[in-house]
Amino acid sequence: LSLQQVNDLSPNEFHQIFINVIECWSEGAIYVSALVPFKNFDRLIESFHRYLDQLSIENKLKILRLHPDLAGKLADDDLLTDESKYEQSCAGLDLLTAENKLKMNELNYKYKQKFSFPFVICVRENSKFEAILKGISERIDNEVQQEIEIGIGEVKKICRLRILEIVDYSK
């Protein structure tokens, strides 16, 4: 979509199109639909980012908990959202060796035991399996408060890339 096309959307159309730029959290698209029109696409992305920043800790936790595990059960059962499926495949997480899958599953489990939410990382910006493993191994030592903010920071990166799949930045 061009900027003009985005700006011509009704709030309801906007909501439907941007519904999953924050994984399974359509409230973000509803909130931002009220901010149309945008001067440029940076402002559109910023609006989603600001929305995420101003949420309560409770809502940030809810959003993190809506993310599927990387290479986890939902992926095995082919129940991921289209966006998550695409992202995980970009990092080859659908084609891991049995050994690497086990490693990933074990670390996901430990991470979730500690934090009570899943490990979220923008896998399209960390598309090497080693980088993802390094990320989870390092982040598991963080404090909960810090990890909520890092996780939401990753949700912002994921959100930006999902928006870029929808809009045509050159127009």
For the annotated catalytic residues, the residue numbers are 67
DSSP 68: P
Q: Which is nearer to ligand GUN, 23 or 147 (CB)?
A: 23
Least distance to ligand GUN from the beta carbon of 54, Å?
22
Cα 84 to Cα 75: distance, rounded to the nearest angstrom: 9
Q: Which is nearer to ligand GUN, 3 or 91 (CB)?
A: 91
Question: Nearest residue by C-beta to ligand GUN?
Answer: 84
By CB under 6 A, name the binding residues for ligand GUN.
23, 67-68, 70, 84, 87, 118-123, 158
Least distance to ligand GUN from the beta carbon of 29, Å?
17
Residue with tokens 């941007």, as numbered in its chain: 18
Q: Which is nearer to ligand GUN, 3 or 162 (CB)?
A: 162
Measured over the CA atoms of residue 86, residue 92, residue 95 and residue 98, the dihedral's sign is negative
Least distance to ligand GUN from the beta carbon of 155, Å?
8
Q: How many other C-beta atoms can be found within 10 angstroms of the C-beta atom of residue 73?
A: 11
Using DSSP's 3-state secondary structure scheme, residue 161 falls into helix
Cα 79 to Cα 82: distance, rounded to the nearest angstrom: 9
